[in-house]
């Protein structure tokens, strides 16, 4: 439907029906005063309320994962000492640089 045509029909209908005396005195002023008296929406309060509600499910998930990690590590063979492999990995870049410098 054409919006201009719809707007013209609505304006014509509103002009054909004048307001009646059944509306209380200063009705619109009271409604506007109630709207203005409402507190403004606080986005930070909404976020904090949502985050506090999320703490219980997050704590439950954390406890389940901790229990799963604990029981899964006890069921297999003991883990090997990874300190030497970690050191080799961290120092691999410096070893490559020293090897490249020796060829020049």
Q: Decide if pLDDT at 65 tops 70.
A: yes
Alpha carbon distance 20, 22 (integer Å): 5
Alpha carbon distance 21, 10 (integer Å): 21
Q: Decide if pLDDT at 74 tops 80.
A: no
- Structure token pair of residue 62: 């954390």
**What pLDDT, on a 0 to 100 scale, did the predictor assign at position 47?**
93
Q: 77 near 83, Cβ under 8 Å?
A: no
What phi and psi, each to the nearest 5 degrees, are found at residue 38? -65, 140
pLDDT tens string 18-45: 777 787 888 889 988 988 888 888 889 9
Q: 79 near 72, Cβ under 8 Å?
A: no
- Nearest alpha-carbon partner for 45 in 37, 55, 53: 53
Average pLDDT of the segment spanning 75-80: 64
């Amino acid at each position: 439907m054409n919006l201009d045509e719809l707007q013209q029909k609505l304006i014509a209908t509103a002009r054909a029906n004048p307001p009646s005396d059944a509306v209380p005195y200063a009705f619109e002023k009271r409604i506007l005063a109630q709207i203005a008296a409402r507190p403004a929406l606080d986005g930070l309060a909404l976020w904090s309320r949502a985050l506090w509600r999320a703490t219980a499910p997050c704590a439950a998930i954390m406890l389940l994962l901790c229990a799963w990690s604990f029981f899964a590590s006890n069921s297999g063979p003991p883990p090997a000492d990874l300190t030497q492999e970690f050191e080799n990995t961290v120092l691999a870049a410096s070893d490559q640089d020293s090897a490249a410098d020796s060829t020049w």
